[in-house]
Amino acid sequence: MDSLDYNILKELMCNGRSTWAELAIKLGKSSPAIADRVRRLEEKGFIKGYAAIIDSELVGYQMTAFISLSIDKVKDRNLFLERISVLPEVQECHHVAGNEDFLLKIRCQGTNDLDRIISQELRTLPGVFKTRTIIVLNTHKDTPIIPITNNE
């Protein structure tokens, strides 16, 4: 990756709806050159996709929680990962070091919905033997922007 690639990524993180022409003007290149670069960044996996960032509260998902959990047996890990990958309330799943094995970010409609997710969806999965829940009271920063730098 060169400095143009880094600059394209920075621009698209801030405004994923930028047109080739807008990017070309900002970066001092032609629209076809920018389009080719973006396609290459997509093909190489630097750009995974594009999405609108939705205000979860405005669409009825007022609660965010983080749930850490432990899996009793390594053999149950793959089934656990398969099952949570289809749970729409699970926004993120991280395999972590520490006292627990996984950390999940959950968006749900409220305490009843969170109770359902924990008791009916997570704790019933094979191997899950311990959960710990942290409910978010207020979010002060939530950004998709990664502070990438060009080290050329």
Q: Is the pLDDT of residue 34 over 90?
A: yes
- How wide is the angle at C-alpha 143 spanned by C-alphas 141 and 149, nearest 5°? 120
Taking only the tens place, the pLDDT of each residue in 81-133 is 999 999 999 999 999 999 999 999 999 999 999 999 999 999 999 899 999 99
Strand (E) positions, the chain? 63-71, 90-95, 102-108, 128-135
The full set of domains in the chain, from first to last, is: 3-43 (1.10.10.10), 63-135 (3.30.70.920)
Taking only the tens place, the pLDDT of each residue in 38-63 is 999 999 999 999 999 999 999 999 99
pTM: 0.87
Backbone angles phi, psi at 52, to 5 degrees: -80, 140
Q: Is the pLDDT of residue 152 over 70?
A: no
What Cα–Cα distance (Å) separates residue 75 from each residue in 13, 26, 71, 99, 101?
A: 38, 51, 9, 19, 13
* Burial label, 114 (beta-carbon count in 10 A; 0-12, 13-18, 19+): buried
Spatial distance between the Cα atoms of 151 and 106, rounded to a whole number of angstroms: 35
